[in-house]
Chain A
Amino acid sequence: MIKNRLVDVLKVQGGDFPHLLVYGPSGAGKKTRIMCLLRELYGPGVEKLRIEHQTIVAPSKKKIEINTIASNYHIEVNPCDAGNQDRVVIQELIKTVAQSQQIQSSTQREFKVVLLTEVDRLTKDAQHALRRTMEKYMATCRLILCSTSTSKVIGPIQSRCLAVRVPLPSKEEVCSVLTSVCKKEGLLLPPELAKQISDKSGRNLRRALLMCEACRVQQYPFSADQDVPEPDWEVYLRETANAIVSQQSPQRLLEVRARLYELLTHCIPPDIIIKGLVEELLNNCDGQLKTEVAHLAAYYEHRLQLGSKAIYHLEAFVAKFMAIYKKFMEDGLDAMMF
């Protein structure tokens, strides 16, 4: 249903392809496309997956344990699991995979595929380590990098890869997917509900499907105006944004801080928090203020990436917003008076 242009690429290339950098927002279907591609390459054997626990010894004699998901033809690694030591993972693991030749190359492709996920969270060191590896083992191995954005992938790697952007599906596409899935499950999905779900999911297909299932569990014969469950953290974040807009004072900032801590401890990444906050806050802002707020958010998000204590930066952003917003409101009131 969703066109897999990757497969087209493959067909054009005649079964071979360069390193790929697949990027796009979460829930757009990057992994799905990649798996389709692999299946196209190697046949159904790709879907026989197993989890392997690998132990890598860093030069500092520190042991790093990492889980990989592998089939006979490819291996999937998330180097970020190793935290700061991801460079070692890249160097050791990928080299060993890349250096070993494929057995029976007559019937198989002559290369293996290494799938690296969450490349945007790789440290710079690890990305630089990747550069040479990519060129050196081109004969035996293809890399598919998977990330949410290219902005954190260094230029040299981007230039070595064929970048493929996977956009979010449109709302109509989401709706059609939902209806087809429901049909397969033997359920009747009213189009209004499908529309509502696709709105609420933010075109994130994974979430849309999950929401649909949650709706099913909640109440089966679907009703058109059914409540669509949302992730808790989003609701919480929205409430936080409302708290910020409704009052601007140090006390309120203290409350907001507690909520931010709460979000952080629930494993919500700080950049997602700041993004969510900005989206909510922008809804409450006047036009003039919007650019300023967006600028602020970008500024503090950058700081956040540079620093280590996310809470300071989040709070700094909130405080700054409060100050601007308050000033704006007071100016507005003054203007109304005169």
Chain B
Amino acid sequence: MDEYDELFEIEDQFEEQFADELEVLAEMEEETSEPAKRPKLAQGDDVSDIQHLLDDQPITPKAKRQKNDTGVVKRLFNGSQTQERNVPPQRDDITPPSSPEHYEPSKTFRSTPAMLDISGFAEIPETPRRPVTPTPASTHVLKRPPLEGEFISVTDSSGNRVYLRQKEEMDTKTVESRIVPNSDGGLGLLALPIRALREQEAERRHQQVVEESQRLTELLVSSVNDVFAESENPEDQENEDPEDAEGRASRLWVDRFSPRHYTELLSDDFTNRCLLKWLKLWDTVVFGRERKSRPARSDRQAAHQNSFKPNQGGQNQNRFRSKVEMTEEILEAELDQYKRPKYKVALLSGPPGLGKTTLAHVIAKHAGYNVVEINASDDRSTEVFQKRIDTATQMKSVLGSNERPNCLVIDEIDGAPAAAINILLSVLNRKDGHGAEAGTETAKKRKKKESILLRPIICICNDLYVPALRPLRQQAFLLVFPQTQPSRLTQRLAEISSQQGLKADTGALMSLCEKTDNDIRSCINTLQFLHGRGLKQLDSRTIQSVSVGQKDQNKGLFYVWQEIFQLPRTKRKRIGEGFEEAPGSGSGFQRFQHILHLASSSGEYEKVSLGLYDNYLSMRVRDPNLQAVCEALDWLTFSDRLNQVILHGQNFSLMKYLPFLSVAFHFLFAHTHVPRISYPHSHHEASSHLLSSRNALSTMLADIPASIRSRIGQLSLTLDILTLLLDIICPKLRPVNPQLFSSREKDQMRELIATMLAYNLSYRQDRTPEGQYTYVLEPRVEDVARFSGLPPRRQLTYQAKQTISREMEQEKMRRAEQMMLQRNPVAKVEEIKSAGPKLTRNHQQRLENIVKQTTVETRPEVDFFGRAVAPKPQGPQSSSDSGEKCAVLAMGTAVGNSDVWFRFNEGMSNAVRRNVYIRELL
């Protein structure tokens, strides 16, 4: 009994421990396999297994029969085991719910627990058909009859008897016993089903292995094993048939052989896995499944979360993590409040033909989604785009067979207008805001569904760095596609070509891959093309001689320059290179062709030639007599003239001669070293600099008075006048107040200012970045006249410049005044008359009057009305009529004596008004 308990415990632990793997295995049976699993199998083991398996021929047909049997059993299980059904779906988080039959296998495990699992897992790979020995770990299969409880004794084919504990599943087994009669002649009800099931299990495993083996053999040996093909193909077809119908109809191989399953994907495993994981993160919100169903794992997760937290906080500091780690972390990161992953959008990027779109489709399908695709062929105007996103993310088809949730795949998003991308972003973000408000009511799923994005979106682009994508880049889970491995691609190509009866050796396929830069689509298309031409035998010669498949693609400028300046390494096989690989023989011709092709396909002759010009002198080429340099420059001048003729005469047929410049440079300067190439800025810099100098000169010329203007042109200005003029306007000035200048100095100053005015030069105060004030000559002709390498000319001091600029302002005003006077001489006279008083008319006129009054009044000593008045001291008690005058008088005298005065207005208001100006107080 003790022993029994122990065993039981062990079993439990076992289940827990290998839950992951079981799951994975289950999945492998269902459809294909968990991504990580397959590649991890050691190749050698596999092969040996396969070999072993291949020895017994009859297996395969038998497998089919067995499979059918299981089908029956399954169906029966479904019928009877309704109460058990509720338990398992929680277990599996990878299988989608929409395909219920996938669950069946795991259920069968359940119903006949542990034993099957263990034996299947531990032993089947090696000896699937070996007679069953009582497994030691089993608690249900015992060698001795159990002490308590009911049991059944079982004798297996080799005659060993074991005792099986009977458990609650009695009813099931009775059912089974009814359907599966004792064909083997075994004991009791239980023995047979278990064995049958075991066998089924083994068969299924075996099938799996066989499938695998078939694939591997195909890969390893390019010729097909006919027996296998026969035995395997029917089944393969059976699997693929429904989906394949359309592919078969279309005549392009690309469609026909596009991967249908996760394992068939040729793209990088890591990328595939990352995308799958990311998509799986959505399961919680989309399918309502817990993300971590496994308690052990969730425990671990919980334990980890504490340690993760600081990590995530310090994410910014920890920038040096590898990209892989970063991606892993993103995938490990917690879900947000709505149980969505942190990044709502995955953005796949990479060159064409790597299978990005295929990957997105396959994975979405694999994860149980219904793929809705928007691509460049659709209208992507804002409204339509918005509508389509909403439709795809918030609705679900109710009719029809595929009642799966949608997964939106936006293909070729780099071509979409920025507005469309903004809409996508707003879908991601705006709804976040909504959600935050309604964050408390998490239970109300209905309401959330209207506002929050609850479906995964996968975007696909070729160029990740398109400006329009910039905002999206920050919010998306970025996956950059690496190049497809040529080996995998070749394998796949070999498969295809063998299926199509095209004989191709590995070398030929390899060179095809190289030619197309591992572009899967292009490879397959080329293959089909060659096949279509009736070619039955494919070797590298034909591949190289054929011009199809070589993409006329735009390589980067740096790539072009590098190719031009670098000799091809001898072991590197070039595409353009001809028919024999012998390095010495025709390499010149091949290089010529290659560079010519490269240059003409890049198209940007101007940029290319500028780059060549900027870089060729820094190449490490031994050229003591400068012969190569001279020749290169002759080529450059030739292409410049050619360009001129093309542009002026619009004689574009000459364009075809432009790429030969690159070829010439290649033969002159190519070197085995990797060249260091810098982007050609010099020409652009020079032209912008030239433009600014021209502008300075023309602004200077524009305002020079006509009499001088007629004597100077721009050319004479730059060549003769300017530098000397700048010397002339820098006289030696004593650093004193200009009022203290001697008459000669004053003359000099006047002359200087006249010159500067005549040539439209002036000083403008400017502030340097350091905060100092300087005076700079305006327009900035100093830059035009002065050269950097020469000894600096004498400069005026800051004070001198300040003085000059002030004097100039005054002189300008003076001249403007004179101009005005000249223009209307009538006004001049009046103005001169009124010039004095006009300045200070307001009060001084009155003052003068008052002063006059006093003088007048003091003389006759008679008041305003003719009466004699004694001068009184000013006082408030004076009578109203004479008081006025007294005040006036007093004011008059006061005003006569001082500049400050005020007047008190009686009667009208009690306000005191004083007109005091600051300038009078000074």
Q: Do A and B interact with each other, yes or no?
A: yes
4 interchain residue pairs of minimum CB distance: A49-B706, A316-B633, A210-B724, A307-B640
Chain B contacts with A in 585-602, Cβ cutoff 8 A = none
| Residue pair A217, B730 in contact (C-beta under 8 Å) | yes
Chain A contacts with B in 293-314, Cβ cutoff 8 A = 300, 303, 306-309, 311-313
Taking the complex as formed, is A195 at the interface, i.e. its CB lies under 8 A from any CB of chain B? no
Chain A contacts with B in 213-230, Cβ cutoff 8 A = 213-214, 217-218, 229-230
- Cα(A290)–Cα(B702), bound, Å: 43
Q: Which of A211, A267, A272, A323 contacts B694, CB < 8 Å?
A: A267
Which residues of chain A are near B683, meaning CB under 8 Å? 309, 311
Taking the complex as formed, is B630 at the interface, i.e. its CB lies under 8 A from any CB of chain A? yes
- Cα(A211)–Cα(B720), bound, Å: 9
- Cα(A225)–Cα(B724), bound, Å: 19
Which B residue's beta carbon lies closest to that of A266?
Answer: B784
**Binding stretch for chain A, among B58-66, B82-90, B422-430, B618-626:** B618-626
Taking the complex as formed, is A45 at the interface, i.e. its CB lies under 8 A from any CB of chain B? no
> With A26-B719, A210-B721 known to touch, is A267 a contact of B693 (CB < 8 Å)?
yes
- Cα(A233)–Cα(B617), bound, Å: 26
Q: What are 13 A-B residue pairs whose CB atoms fall within 8 Å in the complex?
A: A49-B709, A210-B728, A213-B724, A250-B629, A259-B789, A266-B785, A267-B718, A269-B715, A300-B637, A312-B633, A315-B633, A316-B634, A326-B626
Which residues of chain B are near A9, meaning CB under 8 Å? none
- Binary interface profile of A, 228-269, with partner B (CB < 8 Å = 1, else 0)? 011111011001000000001111011001010110111111
Q: Other than the known A49-B707, A51-B709, A229-B727, what 8 A-B pairs have Cβ atoms closer than 8 Å? A: A27-B716, A207-B724, A214-B728, A250-B618, A265-B693, A266-B718, A311-B683, A319-B626
Which residues of chain A are near B837, meaning CB under 8 Å? none
| Residue pair B636, A268 in contact (C-beta under 8 Å) | no
> With A217-B730, A253-B617, A267-B718 known to touch, is A309 a contact of B640 (CB < 8 Å)?
yes
Taking the complex as formed, is A133 at the interface, i.e. its CB lies under 8 A from any CB of chain B? no
A contact patch SS: helix
Which residues of chain B are near A50, meaning CB under 8 Å? 706
Taking the complex as formed, is A327 at the interface, i.e. its CB lies under 8 A from any CB of chain B? yes
- Cα(A50)–Cα(B682), bound, Å: 41
> With A26-B720, A210-B728, A272-B719 known to touch, is A308 a contact of B644 (CB < 8 Å)?
yes
Which residues of chain B are near A233, meaning CB under 8 Å? 718-719, 723, 785, 787
Which residues of chain B are near A217, meaning CB under 8 Å? 727-728, 730-732
Which residues of chain A are near B690, meaning CB under 8 Å? 264-265, 267
Interface residues of A (CB under 8 A from B): 26-27, 31, 35, 47, 49-51, 67, 69, 76, 78, 117-118, 204, 206-207, 210-211, 213-214, 217-218, 229-233, 235-236, 239, 248-251, 253-254, 257, 259, 261-262, 264-269, 272, 300, 303, 306-309, 311-313, 315-316, 319-320, 322-323, 326-327
| Residue pair B630, A316 in contact (C-beta under 8 Å) | yes
Minimum distance in angstroms from B729 CB to a CB of chain A: 8
Which B residue's beta carbon lies closest to that of A210?
Answer: B724
Q: Which of B713, B727, B784, B789 contacts A78, CB < 8 Å?
A: B713
| Residue pair A250, B788 in contact (C-beta under 8 Å) | no
- Cα(A306)–Cα(B702), bound, Å: 31
Q: Which of A267, A272, A303, A311 contacts B641, CB < 8 Å?
A: A303
| Residue pair B724, A211 in contact (C-beta under 8 Å) | yes
> With A229-B727, A250-B617, A265-B686 known to touch, is A323 a contact of B630 (CB < 8 Å)?
yes
- Cα(A251)–Cα(B784), bound, Å: 27
- Cα(A326)–Cα(B625), bound, Å: 7
Q: Which of A206, A308, A326 contacts B716, CB < 8 Å?
A: A206
Chain B contacts with A in 662-697, Cβ cutoff 8 A = 682-683, 686, 689-690, 693-694, 697
| Residue pair B641, A319 in contact (C-beta under 8 Å) | no
Taking the complex as formed, is B643 at the interface, i.e. its CB lies under 8 A from any CB of chain A? yes
Chain B contacts with A in 770-801, Cβ cutoff 8 A = 784-790
Which residues of chain A are near B702, meaning CB under 8 Å? 67
Minimum distance in angstroms from B623 CB to a CB of chain A: 7
Q: Which of A50, A76, A231, A254 has the most CB of B within 10 A?
A: A231
Taking the complex as formed, is B867 at the interface, i.e. its CB lies under 8 A from any CB of chain A? no
| Residue pair A232, B785 in contact (C-beta under 8 Å) | yes
Taking the complex as formed, is B627 at the interface, i.e. its CB lies under 8 A from any CB of chain A? yes
Q: Which of A117, A231, A319 contacts B724, CB < 8 Å?
A: A231
> With A218-B727, A309-B640 known to touch, is A231 a contact of B720 (CB < 8 Å)?
yes
Which residues of chain B are near A49, meaning CB under 8 Å? 706-707, 709-710
Interface residues of B (CB under 8 A from A): 613, 617-618, 623, 625-627, 629-630, 633-634, 636-637, 640-641, 643-644, 647, 682-683, 686, 689-690, 693-694, 697, 702, 706-707, 709-711, 713-716, 718-725, 727-728, 730-732, 784-790
Which residues of chain B are near A315, meaning CB under 8 Å? 633
Minimum distance in angstroms from A329 CB to a CB of chain B: 11
Which residues of chain A are near B714, meaning CB under 8 Å? 267
Which residues of chain A are near B710, meaning CB under 8 Å? 31, 35, 49, 69, 76
- Cα(A214)–Cα(B634), bound, Å: 43
Minimum distance in angstroms from A337 CB to a CB of chain B: 18
- Cα(A206)–Cα(B717), bound, Å: 11
| Residue pair A327, B625 in contact (C-beta under 8 Å) | yes
Which residues of chain A are near B721, meaning CB under 8 Å? 206, 210
Q: Which of B633, B644, B713, B732 contacts A117, CB < 8 Å?
A: B713
Which residues of chain B are near A27, meaning CB under 8 Å? 716, 720
Q: Which of B613, B623, B716 contacts A250, CB < 8 Å?
A: B623
| Residue pair B787, A262 in contact (C-beta under 8 Å) | yes
| Residue pair A231, B682 in contact (C-beta under 8 Å) | no
Q: Which of B613, B630, B647 has the most CB of A within 10 A?
A: B630
Which residues of chain B are near A264, meaning CB under 8 Å? 686, 690
- Cα(A322)–Cα(B634), bound, Å: 14
- Cα(A266)–Cα(B691), bound, Å: 10
| Residue pair A214, B727 in contact (C-beta under 8 Å) | yes
Q: Which of B637, B694, B784 contacts A312, CB < 8 Å?
A: B637
Q: Which of B617, B625, B718, B785 contacts A254, CB < 8 Å?
A: B617
Minimum distance in angstroms from B823 CB to a CB of chain A: 14
- Cα(A251)–Cα(B713), bound, Å: 37
- Cα(A300)–Cα(B634), bound, Å: 10
Which A residue's beta carbon lies closest to that of B704?
Answer: A51
Minimum distance in angstroms from A197 CB to a CB of chain B: 11
Which residues of chain A are near B636, meaning CB under 8 Å? 312, 316
| Residue pair A210, B725 in contact (C-beta under 8 Å) | yes
| Residue pair A306, B641 in contact (C-beta under 8 Å) | yes
| Residue pair B689, A265 in contact (C-beta under 8 Å) | yes
Minimum distance in angstroms from B416 CB to a CB of chain A: 36
- Cα(A326)–Cα(B626), bound, Å: 9
| Residue pair B719, A31 in contact (C-beta under 8 Å) | no
Which A residue's beta carbon lies closest to that of B708?
Answer: A49
- Cα(A307)–Cα(B625), bound, Å: 26
Which B residue's beta carbon lies closest to that of A300?
Answer: B637
Q: Which of B689, B706, B787 contacts A69, CB < 8 Å?
A: B706
- Cα(A117)–Cα(B713), bound, Å: 9
Which A residue's beta carbon lies closest to that of B697?
Answer: A267
- Cα(A309)–Cα(B641), bound, Å: 9
- Cα(A31)–Cα(B728), bound, Å: 23
Which B residue's beta carbon lies closest to that of A78?
Answer: B713
Which residues of chain A are near B706, meaning CB under 8 Å? 49-51, 69
Minimum distance in angstroms from A332 CB to a CB of chain B: 15
Which residues of chain B are near A31, meaning CB under 8 Å? 710-711
Which B residue's beta carbon lies closest to that of A53?
Answer: B702
Which residues of chain A are near B626, meaning CB under 8 Å? 248-250, 253, 319, 322-323, 326
> With A204-B720, A231-B723, A250-B626 known to touch, is A307 a contact of B644 (CB < 8 Å)?
yes
Which residues of chain B are near A306, meaning CB under 8 Å? 641, 644
Q: Which of B618, B641, B647, B790 contacts A235, CB < 8 Å?
A: B790
Q: Which of B686, B719, B786 contacts A261, CB < 8 Å?
A: B686
Minimum distance in angstroms from B720 CB to a CB of chain A: 5
Which residues of chain B are near A272, meaning CB under 8 Å? 719
- Cα(A327)–Cα(B625), bound, Å: 7
Which residues of chain B are near A206, meaning CB under 8 Å? 716, 720-721
Q: Which of B634, B706, B716, B721 has the most CB of A within 10 A?
A: B706
